[in-house]
Amino acid sequence: MYKTHTCGELRASHAGQTVTLAGWVHRRRDHGGVIFIDLRDRFGLTQVVINPDLPKETLELIGNVRSEWVLQITGKVQPRPEGMLNPKMPTGEIEVAMQTFEVLNPAKALPFMISSDEEVDENMRLKYRYLDLRRERMRRNLELRHHVVKFMRDYLSDRDFIEVETPSLFKTTPEGARDYLVPSRVYPGQFYALPQSPQQLKQLLMVAGVERYFQIARCFRDEDSRGDRQPEFTQLDLEMSFVHRDDVLAMVEGLFTAMLPAVSPQKRLMASPWPRLTYTEAVARYGVDKPDMRFGMELFDAGAIFTKSEFAVFQGSLAAGGMVKCLVAPGCAGYSRKELDKLTEFVKELGAKGLVSLALTPEGPKGSGAKFITPAELAALEKLTGASTGDLLLFVADSAKVVHKALGALRLWFRDALNLVDKDVMAFAWVLDFPMFEWSEEGQKWDAAHHPFTMPRLSDLDKFETDPGAILSDAYDMVCNGYEMASGSIRIHRRDIQSKVFELLGIGAEEAQQKFGHMLEAFEFGAPPHGGIAPGIDRLVMLLADEPNIREVIAFPKNQAARDVMADAPSPADPKQLRELHIQVKE
């Protein structure tokens, strides 16, 4: 054994014992001949004191020791002298008076300090991730992630779920992103695809009679790096047979509700049971399908108030079948022209033509909308929104899509600007009744809003020919604090319906057979009704850890340009490897 105790373990009750510790030199201080070393391991810090009466060679050798050297130290535990106690440190009652030590490995000068929280350039942190992970914050995040995953495993195992591993080398499993392909050496010109999720495999496990499956599953999606995404990420993937939507929701709600106090006691649920909204309602009230429900500031539809308005901006949008919606920024009537211009720029970048403002000041209405809004309209607005003197109303008039996008984002802007939320509140909610298909302007075709294995509402089946946009699906999202935390659905388990969906998506019979023949065939061998969901683990841990992005809770993430800057990947392949893979790289 390298150590008799960890660096977080010793207390006053150990005084008098001779102990051996091993760890890193966290800090080193020289107090006029007496050297102090804070020795660190994963479990904590212990102060080691090196008295000047030790043999000269020992003193000389220890004098050379620097930050992050790995040492093994033997010494005697002693109470700290009066006035030197450190109540902030769990081991603050004692110190270890060193007798002997051994250098297990020295360390070069470090690219950044481990013992401080100073801001370090992220690429530098990622290049030396193994050093970055030594820092307290990262250690806490790794441990939290472990507790979260362990809780999930235990909770589901106790409820008859079994964890089943599924392959990474598989075939295209669409979730709306591009596939990562892996060339086959044995079959020239043929490729595996890394699964965007284990979607097909978990459904096939249901056909196999597993009934309750889960997996801590890695998903691979080749997306342009926009926002806080990673090429690979982790989901709690689960699937259940003989269930309706509410059975799946109850299982997941139960899991998360039980998990919160166990892994992050400082966090609290906003509401229990979790609120449920339809997709249409979520978009209408919050502008987005992943609302942050920790605060109000909902969107109001003011269209009915302005049907006879002479204000060209409102009139034009309503006449074109669009809408006029507003939100109320409480206490913001005093916003300056400059601040309002900034907000106008903000919504313009989101596609809106402009932003109409109406400030309810003690001297009467002000702002760009003031001279166009009649006293009767103003009274109706106050009634609709509950706004009163001191508040600022902001309107966007445009197509429903633009209005919701702009005001939805503006709502979040005010959330941050006015500090409207408590970071320890977890506002979980369910969003239900999604449309099954979305029209893609780009591809001029229907896309699956969730994925093509989602069950359309059976009562909507006749709309396949007449009005695909109106078909609802049995899909659901779990949202929290403005993030989509999970997507799931009741699945198709009938070949005829699956074929119908593929057909509408423009996947012809031949392509369907080639890509998904195994699924279609499985549905003809006694497939049980089934459904599932896949909560994202990275995002969840990010919220629980109060981190600003998922890279902070992934041990070895790619940077924002999708590169591993530590190992320097991706990197060119050896020409011999390429030849074996039958691949020629074009310059």
Nearer to ligand ASP, 292 or 474 (CB): 474
Q: Where are the alpha helices (DSSP H) in 225-311?
A: 245-263, 279-286
Give least dist CB 81 to ligand ASP, A: 59
Task: Tell me which residues in 77-136 interact with ligand ASP (CB under 6 A).
Answer: none
Nearer to ligand ASP, 205 or 533 (CB): 533
Q: Does 357 bind ligand ASP (CB under 6 A)?
A: no
Nearer to ligand ASP, 358 or 432 (CB): 432
Q: Does 431 bind ligand ASP (CB under 6 A)?
A: no
Residue 261's alpha-carbon distances to 203, 257, 266, 278, in angstroms, are: 32, 8, 8, 28
In 330-436, the DSSP E strands lie at 356-361, 364-366, 392-398, 425-426, 428-432
Q: Does 175 bind ligand ASP (CB under 6 A)?
A: yes
Contact (Cβ atoms closer than 8 angstroms) between residue 175 and residue 219: yes
Nearer to ligand ASP, 139 or 171 (CB): 171
Nearer to ligand ASP, 44 or 488 (CB): 488
Give least dist CB 532 to ligand ASP, A: 5
Label the pairing between strands 425-426 and 268-269: parallel
Give least dist CB 373 to ligand ASP, A: 44
DSSP symbol at 268: E
Site string for ligand ASP, 206-235 (x = CB under 6 A): -----------------------------x
Nearer to ligand ASP, 5 or 221 (CB): 221
Q: Does 195 bind ligand ASP (CB under 6 A)?
A: no
Q: Is 25 helix (H, G, I), strand (E, B) or coil?
A: strand
Q: Is 555 helix (H, G, I), strand (E, B) or coil?
A: coil
CA atoms within 13 A on the CB side of 337: 1
Nearer to ligand ASP, 47 or 235 (CB): 235
DSSP per residue over 98-146, as a string? EEEEEEEE--PPPSS-SSS-----HHHHHHTHHHHTTSHHHHHHHHHHH
CA distance 127 to 559: 10
The count of residues interacting with ligand ASP (CB under 6 A) is 10
Nearer to ligand ASP, 309 or 487 (CB): 487
Site string for ligand ASP, 133-172 (x = CB under 6 A): ----------------------------------------
Site string for ligand ASP, 230-269 (x = CB under 6 A): -----x----------------------------------
Q: Does 199 bind ligand ASP (CB under 6 A)?
A: yes
Give least dist CB 31 to ligand ASP, A: 57
Give least dist CB 537 to ligand ASP, A: 12
Nearer to ligand ASP, 192 or 213 (CB): 213
Neighbours of 150 (CB within 10 A): 12
Q: Does 197 bind ligand ASP (CB under 6 A)?
A: yes
Give a three-class secondary structure readout of 206-218.
HHCCCCEEEEEEE
Task: Tell me which residues in 526-585 interact with ligand ASP (CB under 6 A).
Answer: 532-534
Q: What distance lies between CA 321 and its chain's CA centroid?
A: 36
For residue 365, whether the previous peptide bond is cis, meaning omega lies within 30 degrees of 0, is no
Sign for the pseudo-dihedral over CA of 517, 523, 526, 528 = positive
Give least dist CB 192 to ligand ASP, A: 19
Task: Tell me which residues in 475-534 interact with ligand ASP (CB under 6 A).
Answer: 487-489, 532-534
Angle of CA points 146, 147, 149, to nearest 5°: 65
Give least dist CB 238 to ligand ASP, A: 8
Q: What is the dihedral of CA 133, 138, 142, 143, to 10 degrees?
A: 120
Give least dist CB 533 to ligand ASP, A: 5
Residue indicated by tokens 């999604």: 434
Give least dist CB 221 to ligand ASP, A: 9
Residue indicated by tokens 């079994």: 162
Judged on CB neighbours under 10 Å (0-12, 13-18, 19+), 478 is buried
Nearer to ligand ASP, 230 or 235 (CB): 235
Nearer to ligand ASP, 264 or 487 (CB): 487
Tokens standing for residue 523 = 């549905």
Chain contacts with ligand ASP (rule: CB under 6 A): 175, 197, 199, 235, 487-489, 532-534
